[in-house]
Amino acid sequence: MTPNPNLWLIPMLPLAGAAINGVFGRQSSKKAISAVALTFCGGAFLIALWIALFQFSSASAPYYFDLAHWLRSGDFHVDFSFYLDQLSLVMMLVVTGVGFLIHIYSVGYMWDDNGYYRFMAYLNLFMFFMLTLVLARNYLMMFIGWEGVGLASYLLIGFWFTKDSAASAGKKAFIVNRIGDFGFLIALFLLIKHFGTLDFPALFANIQPLSPETAGAGLLTSIGILLMVGACGKSAQIPLYVWLPDAMEGPTPVSALIHAATMVTAGVYMVARSHVIFERAPSALTVVAIIGALTALFAATIGIAQTDIKKVLAYSTVSQLGYMFMACGVGAFSVGIFHLMTHAFFKGLLFLAAGSVIHGIGGEQDMRKMGGLRSYMPWTFAVMGIATLAIAGIPPLAGFWSKDEILARAFDTSWVYWLIGVITAFITSFYMFRLMYMTFGGGEYRGASSHDDHAHASHGHGHGHGEPHESPWVMLGPLVILAILSVFGGFVGLGNHFEHFLDPVFKVASDPGLQEPAREAGEKTQEYLLMGVSVAVAALGWLLAHTLYSSRPQLPARIADSLGRLYKAVANKYYVDELYAVLFVNPLVDGSTTILWKGVDQGVIDATVNESADTARHVSDNLRHMQSGNLRSYAGWVAAGGAVVIAYMVWMGVR
Amino acid sequence: MVPLSYYLVLSGILFVCGVLGFLIKRNIITIFMSIELMLNGVNLSFVAFAAQWHALSGQIFVFFVMVVAAAEAAVGLAIIIAVFRTRETLNVDQVNLLKL
């Protein structure tokens, strides 16, 4: 443990930026706002980079910095303190790096929006909370960040709050997250009760000597599962994933930053950070793996039939997050983090490129109204193509390395996980290339120019859109950088370099029984075989998409017709939202209406207040007649009162 | 020596007469006199107790009461004259401007 006094600057700089822009932004010029937002966010990135390059060494890690005391209660204490080990270093670099790029992009994307200063302030605020989350030294600090990013997410999803759908999407995200946070909180309470601390090093040192809990549930298993409930909410896993697709109502940079690259991966980070707990709770780990695998497959199938370009990417994000959880669930935490990082590059890029498309054609998001955009926006096409290849798992791009590693590790645990992973990879490849062909491929641009007006109104882009155009360089620059990262970002995983970097975090505390079995020569063949399969399915998905959406474009409609109800179910997201509405939302709304509102609120609380007021009025109405103005009746009352007092004294005796 | 109880009974009778007069009579001057009657009923019990217990304070209280009663009579009669000048009546039932 080495102190590092620079750590606290990293989250605090974006907070300062948010404060300045939030307070003075309304009066400032857009240039000043951009300068403030980019300076403070970029400053955080530079400090993070500087720490990573010149100060960080695995020998002296982890670093920490205690900023201030917070809670002191007997032996229990929680401080504002930051913590930097290999894991949080990776997260910090991803968050600040991708975050900074998206800040730059937002300058171009949101320039014409009236709420520009608000947007930039929220983005900086998000950076502050996200960095608090990843740099926290205890679970409570992490929880501050956890809730804070939820708040920022809410504010940014509902950024265009005059639009009903955006406002309710924000509420949905917030409420669904609250369910997950409930589980997280209970896990924290259990930790406090049984271990008396939330400080990571102290807590994990306490847990480390415990032996793994076997199939029967125990304390660590319940803590693990509750933590996973929290992760399900934040990272959009079954059954709490429903908020993420709706979150696409937010501006596209938000979708890229919060709902693809960083915030939604917080759950994966949290599970990885709690690996000491999970490694001693195999049942909880199995739950993580199953939820991850199911979500990966489930969300991918929904992605096939979506027509909104951002919705496809949203379901793709849910699916890829499932991958990460599957990796964590089979004990390959470092691989999950690896995929988290590469995913941040290519999914951030995909969203930003999609934003560039949407920007270029005046706010239209329906892929059926796109097509042929390749000639209009070659740069966007190029970078989005790279990202698609990366997410599909075509070597040697970033997604290939991490995804392949996950599949290999899943195969080590059980072939079922591997199979689900491969099927998901196939579907992923298919819907991503489908997206490419529908957006950029084909001959003609299908969007009519007549829809431009209302699209402008709803998205707040002020300038005219005669025909599709390429985005300005302030937007393309970040795209190109992310594209480069998507191409080369995977190479850090070559020779398990990335994994060994994270080893000090995951291995030190790890239980011997769960350690990765040493690879023997015979297993190399198996590894290459698995690699071949995953590349093959990716290529197959591409081929299928090419057949359906490029060479024989009339075929998809025919297939959809022949599948009938199945296709309809997929296109309607398996009616999960409707199911939740029937099972949870409507009973809650009805119960609140009839019992809480009309029963308790109106029947008991309001009635009590009204009744007491009525009673007081009636009584005083009657008493009023005593005050007749007749002097002698007053005197009579005085005399009567005196007589009563005297009578009392006579009968009861004087004391 | 006359027993204490006689004085007290007389004092009570005087006081009750005053109260009844106060309640029944409508003329302000009569009511005023009833008040004086009540005060004197009280005064009587004061001096009776003072004589009985050989305590001076009761007698002194009586002087105080008489002084206050005199002051009250001065002010009260002034008010009565003022009322009569403006309202041309001394009937309390008709002096009811403060009635709701």
Of A213, A215, A349, A331, nearest in space to A271 by CA:
A331
Interface with A, mutate which of B23, B42, B90, B94 (most A CBs under 10 A): B23
Q: Which of A624, A627, A635 sits opposite B23 (nearest CB)?
A: A635
CA gap B43, B40 in Å, rounded: 5
Q: Is B96 on the interface with A (CB under 8 A)?
A: yes
**Residue A207 in this model has a pLDDT that exceeds 50:** yes
> pLDDT-derived band of residue A653, with 50, 70 and 90 as boundaries?
confident
Q: 3-state DSSP call for residue A111? A: coil
Instruction: Give the chain B residue nearest A628 (alpha carbons).
Output: B99
Q: Which uninterrupted H or E stretch holds A84? A: strand A76-84
Mean pLDDT, residues A476-493? 90
pTM reported for the whole predicted model: 0.79
Mean pLDDT, residues B8-24? 92
Chain B closest CA to A612's CA: distance in Å?
25
Structure tokens at A78: 């929680």
Q: Which uninterrupted H or E stretch holds A255? A: helix A252-256
Q: Is B61 on the interface with A (CB under 8 A)?
A: no
pLDDT value of position A447: 67
With CB atoms and an 8 Å threshold, state whether B95 touches A631.
yes
Q: What is the pLDDT of residues A126-175, one digit of tens each?
A: 999 999 999 999 999 999 999 999 999 999 999 999 999 999 999 999 99
Please report, to the nearest 10 degrees, the dihedral formed by the alpha carbons of residues B89, B93, B94, B95 taken in order.
90
> pLDDT-derived band of residue A412, with 50, 70 and 90 as boundaries?
confident
Chain A closest CA to B96's CA: distance in Å?
6
Chain A closest CA to B54's CA: distance in Å?
23
- Residue A551: partners with Cβ closer than 8 Å, 6 or more residues away: none
Instruction: Give the chain B residue nearest A632 (alpha carbons).
Output: B23
**Residue A254 in this model has a pLDDT that exceeds 80:** yes
**Residue A252 in this model has a pLDDT that exceeds 80:** yes
Please identify which residue in the block is written with the tokens 């709690």. A274
> pLDDT-derived band of residue A567, with 50, 70 and 90 as boundaries?
confident
pLDDT value of position A525: 82
Mean pLDDT, residues A455-461? 43
CA gap A349, A159 in Å, rounded: 21
**Residue A513 in this model has a pLDDT that exceeds 50:** no
pLDDT value of position B18: 93
In chain A, residues with a C-beta closer than 8 Å to the C-beta of B96 are 629-631
Q: Give A381: exposed, middle or buried? Use CB within 10 Å, 0-12, 13-18, 19+.
A: buried
Q: Which of B19, B92, B98 sits opposite A639 (nearest CB)?
A: B19
Q: What is the pLDDT of residues B18-42, one digit of tens each?
A: 999 988 888 889 999 999 999 999 9
With CB atoms and an 8 Å threshold, state whether B92 touches A632.
yes
CA gap A347, A259 in Å, rounded: 10
With CB atoms and an 8 Å threshold, state whether A629 touches B99.
yes
Q: Which of B22, B24, B93 sits opposite A630 (nearest CB)?
A: B93
CA B67 to chain centre: 13
Q: What stretches of A507-630 show up as alpha helix (H) in DSSP?
A: 521-546, 555-563, 565-571, 576-580, 586-591, 607-623
**pLDDT > 70 fraction of chain A, expressed in percent and rounded:** 93
With CB atoms and an 8 Å threshold, state whether A630 touches B99.
yes
Say if residues A354 and A260 touch (Cβ distance below 8 Å). no
